[in-house]
Amino acid sequence: MLHPTTRNLMAHVHSRQRQAFAALSTQLDGESGRHGLKQLGLDKAELLSHLKDFRGQIVWPWEPDYNTDRALFNPLFDAYPVVILYCTVASDAVFALTLAKLVEERTKLAFTVRSGGHCTAGFSAGAGVLIDMSQINDVYVDAAGMTATVGCGVNFGKFRAALLPYKLHVPGGECDDVCIGGYMQGGGYGFTSVTYGMNCDNVISMTVLLANGTIVTASETVNRDLWWGMRGGTGGTLGILLNVTYKLVTLGDVFGWAIIWPIATAANQADAVTALNLLQDNYMATAPSKQLNIQVSLCYQPGIVAGLPLPPAAMQPYLMVRGVWVGNATDGQAAIQALCNSPGATTQWTKTASFDVLNTELLNLPYGMPCFAADAVMPREDKASRIVARKLTSAEWQSLLAYFVSTPNPYSYFYMEFYGGAINEYPVADSAWIHRDALYNAVLDVFWWEEADRAASQAFLDGWIALMEPLYNGHAYQNYPRLGDPNWADKYWGDAQGKLAAVKGVYDPKTLFTFAQCIVQRN
């Protein structure tokens, strides 16, 4: 028998749902509502029959919150979905998918699925129904069992905060507002991945809403092929992810740091090449320990002291090495001492703290990478990934440095996410994330605010891609997609794309889930 308080709460929820449903019915009789029905290709009775049990929020184009709710993190992509459905429970996702399929059948407007909206290629929204999963965001931590089950809409700020009291950890997104859904399905690299693997490597099981409307579990022992494909096959490819159960590790305080070398002059760049060769020889595949997690970047900073950014003219280019040692400060400092002693090096900061604290400081000390004005709106962004599996010569390092300082603005940002350790030890055949024999993922991010600056920024990115052509191994990280990148399936999945296409054929035989860089099913 239900507790009276529970009955009262349920009655309140049902009453609120009835009120919202009645309000929607009235709205649909107005001019905006009739126009909305026309866009959906439905009549009022059809729409209401599909939404009568929907518990989440519905946002229509005529509502004041629509422009805010349709926005993605990258304003380069400006989609106008016919309706936004915020799912709060699994049944909402079932209702939303059923409606989205009908609308697509009637109007040919493809639906999209969004968890956090961080896809820099704009795959998180379109002109059809937008199924938003960000409100499926509960976190259940089993501290004794060392597992956590999280909704696909949980962001990593919330997830880390939930794990912190237990001193538990799983490799995760570095930005607080990145959500589990797309991140895990593209692999999921984080500041502790060399120690503990990619985020997808730590997945025990998941629940997935399939194209036929059924909800299934996928794990190493149940629907193993789906479990394989969802971990690296990219978000929105095989189904709608509902939740994930992770295995956790114990993690106390860790040691973090940031070291920089100026690269504005030829002499500066010579020191930076020395540092890059040192990193290549002693800290990549031959890293002294899996405890050492390193990221390298070329970026513009306002100077040595952290703080608000200075005007762009005052910003200077630097090589920056930052990272995490999973252990104590003494051992961590010893591991990076050779870098600290390298010619031209300045240690910006070192700190021992919880990973939650250090993750924030690694991203924001000095103030943000790249540095934007504190009150700036989000700029438009484009980026590309190229994975490198061989050593570079001094001349090749020099060419990358010289090219970077030719950027059309000081907001370009080049970085290398080091692989090795647990990433490379995970069996390549056990997931659709195949990049297990590489040294690092090289990425260039370009940003601009005004449309007049777009051509120069994207030309700079194109030039970098051409420069990387002889340096990379033919692969790219699927969580950093770029529209128009040729041979993207080869880059993301290599020899595994045939198996992924076969899995697509099993679970989505009619290619219901699709977008610009979605694997094509093979029956």
Residue 223 has pLDDT above 90, yes or no: yes
Residue 8 has pLDDT above 50, yes or no: no
Dihedral, CA atoms, 245, 250, 255, 259, nearest 10 degrees? -20
Q: Are residues 357 and 468 in the same domain?
A: yes
Backbone phi, then psi, for 386, in 5-degree steps? -140, 125
What is the mean predicted confidence (pLDDT) over 289-316? 75
CA distances from 160 to 9, 148, 445 (A): 30, 11, 26
Q: Which residue has the tokens 């305080």?
A: 253
Dist. CA 320–CA 275, nearest whole Å: 10
Overall domain count for the chain? 3
Closest CA to 153 of 77, 219, 90: 90
| Domain's final residue, options 218, 250, 282 | 250
Strands (E), 17-133: 58-59, 83-86, 112-114, 129-132
The encoded tokens of residue 482 equal: 């770029």
Q: Which residue has the tokens 């692999």?
A: 187
Q: Considering only 30-34, 98-102, 139-143, which range has the smallest mean pLDDT?
A: 30-34
Residue 206 has a CB neighbour count (10 Å cut-off) of 27
Q: What is the CATH number for 189?
A: 3.30.465.10
Q: Are residues 277 and 352 in the same domain?
A: yes
Dist. CA 493–CA 477, nearest whole Å: 9
CB 385 within 8 A of CB 442: yes
Mean pLDDT across the chain, nearest whole number?
92
CA distances from 223 to 220, 226, 368 (A): 7, 5, 42
Per-residue pLDDT reduced to its tens digit, 17-60: 666 677 788 888 888 989 999 999 999 999 999 999 999 999 99
The encoded tokens of residue 405 equal: 């300082």
Dist. CA 139–CA 162, nearest whole Å: 7
Q: Are residues 243 and 272 in the same domain?
A: no
- DSSP per residue, 284-323: STT-S-TTEEEEEEEEEES-SS-SSPPPGGG-EEEEEEEE
- DSSP per residue, 335-382: HHHHHHTSTT-EEEEEEEE-HHHHHHHHHHSSS-SS---TTPPPPEEE
Q: Are residues 290 and 429 in the same domain?
A: yes
How many Å is the maximal CA-CA distance in the chain?
77
Per-residue pLDDT reduced to its tens digit, 151-168: 999 999 999 999 999 999
Q: Are residues 260 and 305 in the same domain?
A: yes
Q: Considering only 223-237, 244-258, 279-293, 298-312, which range has the smallest mean pLDDT?
A: 298-312
Per-residue pLDDT reduced to its tens digit, 335-363: 999 999 999 999 989 999 999 999 999 98
What's the length of the chain?
523
Q: Are residues 304 and 442 in the same domain?
A: yes
Q: Considering only 69-73, 86-90, 185-189, 499-503, which range has the smallest mean pLDDT?
A: 69-73
Q: Are residues 381 and 422 in the same domain?
A: yes
Q: Considering only 91-100, 327-336, 357-366, 499-508, which range has the smallest mean pLDDT?
A: 357-366
Residue 313 pLDDT class (50, 70, 90 cuts): low
Q: Are residues 476 and 348 in the same domain?
A: yes
To which H or E segment does residue 31 belong?
Answer: helix 31-40
Dihedral, CA atoms, 85, 86, 89, 90, nearest 10 degrees? 40
Per-residue pLDDT reduced to its tens digit, 233-269: 999 999 999 999 999 999 999 999 999 999 999 999 9
- The reply to whether 501 falls in a domain is no
Residue 6 has pLDDT above 50, yes or no: no
pLDDT at 2: 47
- The reply to whether 85 falls in a domain is yes
What is the mean predicted confidence (pLDDT) over 98-108? 97
Q: Are residues 122 and 161 in the same domain?
A: no
Q: What is the CATH number for 56?
A: 3.30.43.10
What is the mean predicted confidence (pLDDT) over 4-13? 42
Residue 155 has a CB neighbour count (10 Å cut-off) of 24
The encoded tokens of residue 35 equal: 């126009």
Closest CA to 279 of 391, 189, 388, 369: 391
- The reply to whether 509 falls in a domain is no
Q: Are residues 117 and 205 in the same domain?
A: no
Residue 394 has pLDDT above 70, yes or no: yes
Dist. CA 256–CA 237, nearest whole Å: 36
Q: Are residues 329 and 287 in the same domain?
A: yes
Share of residues in the chain with pLDDT > 90 (%): 84
Q: Is the dihedral of CA 296, 301, 303, 306 positive or negative?
A: negative
- The reply to whether 152 falls in a domain is yes
What is the mean predicted confidence (pLDDT) over 378-404? 97
- The reply to whether 385 falls in a domain is yes
CB 217 within 8 A of CB 205: yes
Closest CA to 306 of 346, 366, 348: 366
* Structural domain boundaries enclosing 149: 139-250
Locate all alpha helices (DSSP H) within 368-496, ordered by sequence: 394-404, 422-425, 454-468, 488-493
Q: Are strands 292-301 and 215-219 parallel, antiparallel or unpaired?
A: unpaired
- The reply to whether 102 falls in a domain is no
- The reply to whether 187 falls in a domain is yes
- The reply to whether 491 falls in a domain is no
Per-residue pLDDT reduced to its tens digit, 485-523: 999 999 999 999 999 999 999 999 999 999 999 998 775
How would you class 430 by CB atoms within 10 Å of its CB: exposed for 0-12, middle for 13-18, buried for 19 or more?
middle
- How many distinct helices (H) and strands (E) make up the chain? 17, 18
Q: What is the CATH number for 341?
A: 3.40.462.20
Dist. CA 260–CA 272, nearest whole Å: 9
pLDDT at 4: 44
Q: Are residues 312 and 382 in the same domain?
A: yes
